Amino acid sequence: MTNANTKETDVVIVGAGFGGIYQLIRLRKLGGLSIQVLEEAPDLGGLWYWNNYPGKFPSARTDSEWSIYQFPFPEIYEEWDQAESFAARDDILRYFRLVDNKFDVKRDIRFNSKVVSAHWDDASLRWTTTTADGAVFRSKYLLLCIGFAAKMYIPDWKGIGSFKGTVYHTSKWPQGGVDFKGKRVGVIGTGATGVQVIQTIFDQCDSLTVFQRTPNIAFPMRLVKLNNENRRSDLFPTILRRRLQTFSGFSYDLVYDENPFDISPEERELHYEELWEKGSLRFWLGTYSEIFYDSKIGQECYDFWRKKTASRVKDPAVRELLVPSKLPHHFGIRRPSLEQRYYEAFNHPTTKLIDIRGNPIEEVTPKGVKTADGTEYEFDILIFATGFDAMTGGMKQIDIRGQNGLSLLEKWNDATRTCLGMTINGFPNMFFVYGPQAPSGLANGPSCIDVQSEWVTRCIDYMEKNGYKTIEATPEAEEEWTNLSNDLMNKTLFIDVPISWHVGSSVPGKRVEALNFFGGLSMYVKKIMESADGEYTEFVFEQ
């Protein structure tokens, strides 16, 4: 039974970032389907709408080069005039405006629409999706395109809401920017967002205090200005096909065909030098594949990185915290960040670094932050760069209920289980992209979204052509995929890192399990396309 405010549609897509827009364009091309996209933000961009920190040099940027961080649609890449090799946030929003100009995507999008629940009805075989403002949508298909970083994480410190100054989290930065002039600023966290904020604001504020738990093994970005000669748009079709053939969805790949210790140290050194000079994430995802399995090669990579980086930090004590002589964790098991002047920020006379691994934060006070040794640090502005409840948090914060009213929280209570990293047994006609047990966190986002959206589109096309009402993953297929994901993880060094969002251990109390597909994007593409080509034997259909 429906009320007057309920809108009927064939497909509901949650999210209007790369995943949601990609899926919308792909499904439109099938023809015959009505589609409604629901987006929490007031405009296109998904996570990039909110990633507005801090607004000036160097600003929030991708860590993938633009040649692979885009849609594979000629209508777009033949016209887009990207100005820099790594896109800044404002460039990405401008890019989405071009996408809308070409495909008129906004006509199917309802903005300012935060989805709070999605319930499956066993009788009507429809999903009922509700937004925070009370709008209701009934659909045959539900597609979650919210990404793996849809839920921010803030540690549950004592007094967390007591601070009397201004608080920001990097995932929800004010659209108008922030004036740091004359302000005492504290930044908690040195992950990707922390690096970008710190290197931007250290010379804008009166003082900057950085609280670091784990040093970031950050690489030089090597940002390049682009023009008609070096943009090489003519290569985009080849590059965009190539990105689906590599471990991480980049145009370059890991070196698989030789044991690095079977070649000379000199040859390895020259290999590292070449990767380092080219920049991007090549020193991570273009080096020897053994970094994920053999700590010895990781140690060698770390030693090379330290040799290149240590001299950039002048104070020996600060240098030992930022670029420690002892490897802080297996190299490459935590995603490195790209930086432009991050290490130089700590040479500035008003920048202070606090080691909270040895002296943890005890509480947030009305004036600032107090550490275990009793020291209270006073601030005007406190910035949480504490990351996300990654991979599963975004889906879990929506009240999703499948067959017989089973909630997703109940389903995943003892373990995260998926089939192909896109479906869940007990939740018919529900698909998700760039989420758990896919290559999501180890891959270039648009590459992962590209292949998953193709699979979902082919699957829905198959259902419509055959007159199927529902599709559901079998329990056996779900168990097989989940076991494969965990088996792949257990063969790597990812399982041997105490704090990593790739396996869930970055959030206290969260289970350690495979939240990514550790076989890489190329293996993932092969497996899911075998499913599509084999007419989806992992699933049961109802006519």
What residues contact residue 58 under an 8 Å CB cut-off, 6+ apart? 88, 196, 199, 200, 221, 223, 340, 341
Token pair of 496 as six digits? 């041997």
Q: CA 142 → CA 36, 139, 257, 503, distances in Å?
A: 10, 7, 42, 26
Please provide the size of the chain in residues: 543
Instruction: State the pTM of this model.
Output: 0.96
Within the chain, which residue ranges are assigned CATH 3.50.50.60? 6-151+390-542
pLDDT at 1: 45
* Cα–Cα distance for residue pair 187/195, rounded to 1 Å: 10
Phi, psi of 152 (to 5 degrees): -70, 155
For 364, the 3-state DSSP assignment is strand
Minimal CA–CA distance to 338: which of 273, 285, 287, 274?
285
pLDDT at 54: 77
For 158, the 3-state DSSP assignment is strand
Multiple choice CATH, 6-151+390-542, 3.50.50.60, 1.10.10.10, 1.20.58.220, 3.30.70.100: 3.50.50.60
pLDDT per residue of the chain (543 residues) written in tens, 0 to 9: 456 689 999 999 999 999 999 999 999 999 999 999 999 999 999 999 998 887 666 579 999 999 999 999 999 999 999 999 999 999 999 999 999 999 999 999 999 999 999 999 999 999 999 999 999 999 999 999 999 988 899 999 999 999 999 999 999 999 888 999 999 999 999 999 999 999 999 999 999 999 999 999 999 999 999 998 888 889 999 999 999 999 999 999 999 987 899 999 999 999 999 999 999 999 999 999 999 999 999 999 999 999 999 999 999 999 999 999 999 999 999 999 999 999 999 999 999 999 999 999 999 999 999 999 999 999 999 999 999 999 999 999 999 999 999 999 999 999 999 999 999 999 999 999 999 999 999 999 999 999 999 999 999 999 999 999 999 999 999 999 999 999 999 999 999 987 888 888 888 889 999 999 999 999 999 999 999 999 999 999 999
pLDDT at 227: 92
Give the DSSP per-residue string, 451-506.
HHHHHHHHHHHHHHHHT-SEEEE-HHHHHHHHHHHHHHHHTSGGGG-SS-TTTTTT
CB-based contact 437:515 (threshold 8 Å): yes
* Cα–Cα distance for residue pair 462/431, rounded to 1 Å: 15
pLDDT at 3: 65
